[in-house]
C-alpha cells in the first residue's frame, strides 16, 4: 500500500517518497474512489490501453470511440454539479449545445488555426457564461432542489425549440448558417497553430506541417480528447479532495448547516454550476469538432436525460463512476441497434436505482474491498473491524488528516 | 438618551440586568461587556407574530438559558440572531455592531455559532470530515490536525473518526454537532435543545461540556431547553419567552418558584 510504504520511508528513496506523498495529498481523499497504489496501477494500465486503441483497432474504430470520450466530459460535468454539489441539472446539454454552436459559428467565420483556437476558448466561455447567468438567477433567487431541475430542463427545451426554427438566410451569421432543424454542417476540425520554427524542431518527431490538424480519421483527435480527459479527471480529483471540494459536498449534504459554518452557500453553488457549465461546454466543442456538425438534437429531451442516466448508473458521487458510466453506456447504446438501446439502458437504470442506489462503480469498489479484507483476515487472522484494513480509510487518515 | 448615558457610569449598571445600553452607545463601540443585544425585535409570518418586540441581551461569557412553552418564539429568536430569518422590525447588535442586515455567514465570521434543533451533521461524511469543515475555515496543516483531533476527543468520539456520521447514535450526533459548532472558536454559541431525546447519562455529559466550554474558554451561551433540571444545572440566568415576548428574566431559582411561569407552562391563560 502506497501510504504505508511512503510512511515507513525505508523501502523507497527520499525523493520518491516525497513525490508519492505530494501525489496522495493532492489526489487522495474520501471524496474519490481509488486511494491506493493498486488503483493507480490499474488506472495507468487502462490509460495505456486506451492510448494504444487506435493502433490496435484502427482509425475508424478510434474515431467512433472518441465520441464516448467526448461524452465522458459531459458526464463528469454532471457528476461535479449533481453528485458533488447536489444540484440536479438537466441543463448540462444546454451548455454543451451552446458551446457547440458557438464553436461552429466562430470557427466557420475564422477558419484559420488561430481562429479555431479562439473559437475553442470562446465557445467554452459561452457555455460557462450561460450557466453563470442561469445559476445566478436561480441560486440568488432562492430556487432550490427540484425546481432547479425543472428550470434547467425548461431552458434546454426552449433552446431546442428556438434552434429548430433557425432555418433560412436570416439565421446565417457571417459564413455560418444555423440551419434550423437540420443543424449546422461543415464545422472545421480542431487545429493547433504551430509556428514554423517549432515545426522544424519537431520534425524528427513526425510533425511535418503547421498547423497540426486534430483529424478524426487518423486517431489524432482521439488521442487529444483522451489526453484532455485524463488531465480533466486528475484536475477534478484534486478539486473534490481539496478544502473547496469538502465545502461542495457539505453544501450537497446540508445547505443550512454549511451556511452556519460561515460559508456562502449561494456563491459555492454558483461557482460549481458555472464550472460545470464550462466543462459541459468543453464537451460541446469537442463534439462539434468531432462530427463537424451540431443540431438542435443536442437539446432534445432524450439527449438531456442521457447524462443523468450515465452518471446515475455509474455512480454520481464518484468521478470514476461518472467517467466509466458515461463511456460504457454511450458505447453500449451506440453498439445496440435501434429502439432496443433505449429499452436496455432504461432497464439498466431501473436495476441500478433499485438495487445499487449509489451506482455501479461504488458497488464494485465495496465488493472488491470486502473480498480484499476477507482474504487478508483469512490469511493473517487479524481481528475484525480494524481501520487499517481499509486502504481507502487508511490513506485518508495518513495523508489528509 | 442623556439620562441613560448619565446612569451608565460603571459596573453598577452592568450588574443590573434591567438596565441595558442604548443602541447609540453600542454603535459607537464604547467598551462594553454586552455581547449581544436585540431591540424591539419583531418577526411576523403572515398574520402570525412569532416574536413581538423582544429586548434580549447576553453578556460576554454569560450562560443564559431560554425557556418557554411551545410556540413562544425561542427558535425564531435564535434564527433571527443567526440571520436565517430577517426581522420584520427591530435591530440586533453584536459586539457593538449593528448586524441586523448582515448575511448569516458574516455573522458567523464575527463569532456567532449555532447548533440546530434537529441534529444536523453531514450523514454521509465521516466524523473527521464533519469536524474538518468548520476547522478548515481558519486553520491549516498541523494546527488543523490538532484542532480536529481535539474536537473529536472533546465530543467523546475518539476511535470513531472514520465512521459515517449517520451511523452514530442520536446522542453522539448531538455531541458531534456541538463539537463542530464549538470548533469555529465562537464567542457566542447558540444551542437549540442540545439534550432533547437523550439519556440521563448523556445529558450530564453535555451539561459538563457546556459548563467547561463556558468557564474555560469563556464562550457565551444561549441554550434553549425544556428540561428545567438541565437548565438548573448549567444556567446563571434564565429568560422566559411567552407569546413572542420576554416574560421573565431572573436566576433559575426564582423562575422555578414563580407561579406565573408555572401557569404559562401548564397551559393556563
| ipTM confidence | 0.85
| Owner of C-alpha cell 432524450 | A302
Q: Mind listing the pLDDT tens digit for each residue in B172-204? A: 999 999 999 999 999 999 999 999 889 999 999
On chain B, the residues whose CB falls within 8 A of the CB of A396 are 126, 128, 162
Quick check: B136 and A263 CB within 8 A? no
* Residue carrying the nine cell digits 406565573: B260
Residues in B closer than 8 angstroms to A25, CB to CB, are none
Contact residues, chain B, for A255 at CB < 8 Å = none
Structure confidence at residue A363 (pLDDT): 93
Mutation target among A31, A250, A257 for the B interface, most CBs of B within 10 A: A257
Residue A209: pLDDT band by 50, 70, 90 thresholds? Answer: low
Closest alpha carbon within chain B to A390: B162
B124 at A interface, C-beta within 8 A: yes
Q: What are the angstrom distances between the C-alpha of B98 and each of A174, B44, B81, B111, B220?
A: 57, 21, 11, 14, 19
Domains of chain B: 2-121+168-265 (3.40.50.300)
Strands in A208-260 per DSSP E? 212-214
Query: What is the distance, to the nearest Å, from the Cα of residue A388 to the centroid of all Cα atoms in its chain?
Result: 32
Share of chain A above pLDDT 90, in %: 71
Comparing alpha-carbon positions, the chain B residue that sits nearest to A267 is B105
**Sole residue written with cell 430556487:** A143
Chain B residues with beta carbon closer than 8 angstroms to that of A261: 108, 133-134, 137, 180, 184
| pLDDT tens, position by position, B226-247 | 888 899 889 878 999 998 889 9
Nearest CA in chain B to A247: B133
Do the Cβ atoms of A401 and B148 come within 8 Å? yes
Q: Are A262 and B184 a contacting pair at CB < 8 A? A: yes
CB B120 within 8 A of CB B177: yes
What gap in Å lies between CA A94 and CA A106, rounded to an integer?
18
- β-strand partners of B59: B34
Going along chain A from its start, the domains and CATH numbers come out as 31-358 (1.10.3470)
Give residue A396's pLDDT.
45
Q: What is the pTM of this model?
A: 0.88
Chain A residue with CA closest to B185: the answer is A261
> Which of the pair, A130 or A10, is modelled with greater confidence?
A130
Q: Check: CB of residue A120 under 8 Å from CB of residue A285.
A: yes
What whole-number distance in Å separates Cα of residue B184 and Cα of residue A299? 45
Q: Is the CB of residue B102 less than 8 Å away from at least one CB of chain A?
A: no
A contact test, residue of B83, B111, B136 with most A CBs within 10 A? B136
Amino acid at each position: 500500500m502506497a501510504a504505508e510504504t511512503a510512511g515507513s520511508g525505508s523501502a523507497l528513496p527520499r525523493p520518491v517518497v516525497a513525490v508519492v506523498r505530494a501525489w496522495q495529498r493532492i489526489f487522495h481523499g474520501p471524496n474519490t474512489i481509488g486511494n491506493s497504489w493498486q488503483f493507480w496501477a490499474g488506472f495507468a494500465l487502462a490509460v495505456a490501453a486506451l492510448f494504444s486503441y487506435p493502433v490496435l483497432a484502427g482509425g475508424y474504430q478510434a474515431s467512433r470511440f472518441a465520441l464516448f470520450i467526448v461524452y465522458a466530459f459531459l458526464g463528469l460535468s454532471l457528476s461535479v454539479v449533481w453528485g458533488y454539489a447536489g444540484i440536479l441539472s438537466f441543463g448540462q446539454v444546454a451548455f454543451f449545445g451552446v458551446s457547440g454552436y458557438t464553436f461552429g459559428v466562430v470557427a466557420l467565420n475564422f477558419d484559420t488555426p488561430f481562429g479555431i483556437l479562439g473559437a475553442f476558448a470562446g465557445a467554452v466561455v459561452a457555455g460557462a457564461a450561460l450557466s453563470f447567468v442561469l445559476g445566478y438567477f436561480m441560486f440568488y433567487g432562492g430556487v432550490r432542489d427540484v425546481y432547479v431541475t425543472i428550470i434547467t430542463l425548461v431552458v434546454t427545451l426552449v433552446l431546442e425549440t428556438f434552434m429548430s426554427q433557425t432555418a433560412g438566410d436570416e439565421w446565417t451569421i457571417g459564413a455560418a448558417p444555423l440551419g434550423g432543424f437540420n443543424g449546422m454542417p461543415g464545422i472545421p476540425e480542431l487545429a493547433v497553430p504551430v509556428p514554423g520554427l517549432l515545426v522544424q524542431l519537431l520534425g524528427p518527431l513526425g510533425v511535418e506541417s503547421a498547423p497540426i490538424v486534430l483529424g478524426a480519421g487518423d486517431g489524432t483527435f482521439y488521442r487529444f480528447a483522451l489526453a484532455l480527459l485524463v488531465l480533466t479527471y486528475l484536475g477534478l480529483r484534486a478539486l473534490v479532495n481539496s478544502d473547496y471540494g469538502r465545502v461542495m459536498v457539505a453544501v450537497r449534504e446540508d445547505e443550512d448547516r454549511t451556511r452556519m459554518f460561515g460559508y456562502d452557500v449561494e456563491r459555492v453553488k454558483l461557482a460549481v454550476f458555472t464550472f460545470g457549465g464550462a466543462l459541459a461546454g468543453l464537451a460541446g466543442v469537442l463534439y462539434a469538432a468531432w462530427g463537424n456538425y451540431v443540431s438542435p438534437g443536442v437539446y432534445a429531451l432524450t439527449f438531456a436525460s442521457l447524462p443523468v442516466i450515465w452518471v446515475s448508473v455509474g455512480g454520481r458521487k464518484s468521478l470514476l463512476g461518472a467517467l466509466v458510466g458515461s463511456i460504457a453506456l454511450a458505447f453500449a447504446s451506440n453498439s445496440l441497434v435501434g429502439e432496443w438501446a433505449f429499452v436496455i439502458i432504461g432497464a439498466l437504470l431501473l436495476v441500478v436505482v433499485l438495487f445499487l442506489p449509489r451506482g455501479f462503480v461504488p458497488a464494485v469498489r465495496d465488493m472488491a474491498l470486502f473480498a480484499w479484507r476477507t482474504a487478508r483476515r483469512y490469511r493473517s487472522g487479524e481481528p475484525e473491524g480494524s481501520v487499517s484494513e481499509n486502504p481507502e480509510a487508511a490513506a485518508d487518515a495518513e495523508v489528509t488528516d | 438618551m442623556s439620562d441613560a448615558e448619565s446612569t451608565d457610569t460603571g459596573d453598577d449598571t452592568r450588574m443590573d440586568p434591567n438596565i441595558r445600553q442604548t443602541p447609540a452607545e453600542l454603535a459607537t463601540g464604547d467598551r462594553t461587556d454586552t455581547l449581544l443585544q436585540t431591540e424591539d425585535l419583531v418577526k411576523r409570518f403572515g398574520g402570525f407574530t412569532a416574536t413581538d418586540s423582544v429586548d434580549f441581551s447576553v453578556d460576554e461569557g454569560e450562560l443564559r438559558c431560554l425557556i418557554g412553552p411551545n410556540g413562544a418564539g425561542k427558535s425564531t429568536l435564535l434564527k433571527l440572531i443567526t440571520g436565517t430569518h430577517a426581522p420584520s422590525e427591530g435591530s440586533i447588535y453584536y459586539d457593538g455592531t449593528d448586524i441586523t442586515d448582515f448575511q448569516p455567514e458574516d455573522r458567523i465570521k464575527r463569532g456567532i455559532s449555532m447548533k440546530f434543533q434537529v441534529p444536523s451533521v453531514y450523514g454521509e461524511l465521516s466524523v473527521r470530515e464533519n469536524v474538518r469543515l468548520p476547522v478548515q475555515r481558519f486553520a491549516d496543516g498541523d494546527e488543523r490536525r490538532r484542532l480536529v483531533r481535539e474536537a473529536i476527543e472533546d465530543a467523546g468520539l475518539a476511535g470513531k473518526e472514520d465512521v459515517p456520521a449517520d451511523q452514530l447514535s442520536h446522542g453522539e450526533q448531538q455531541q458531534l454537532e456541538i463539537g463542530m459548532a464549538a470548533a469555529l472558536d465562537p464567542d457566542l454559541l447558540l444551542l437549540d435543545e442540545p439534550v432533547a431525546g437523550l439519556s440521563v447519562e448523556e445529558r450530564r455529559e453535555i451539561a459538563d461540556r457546556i459548563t467547561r466550554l463556558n468557564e474555560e474558554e469563556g464562550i457565551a451561551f444561549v441554550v434553549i431547553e425544556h428540561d428545567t433540571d438541565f437548565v438548573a444545572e448549567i444556567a446563571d440566568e434564565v429568560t422566559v419567552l411567552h407569546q413572542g415576548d420576554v416574560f421573565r428574566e431572573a436566576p433559575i431559582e426564582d423562575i422555578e418558584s414563580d407561579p406565573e411561569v408555572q401557569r404559562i407552562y401548564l397551559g393556563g391563560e
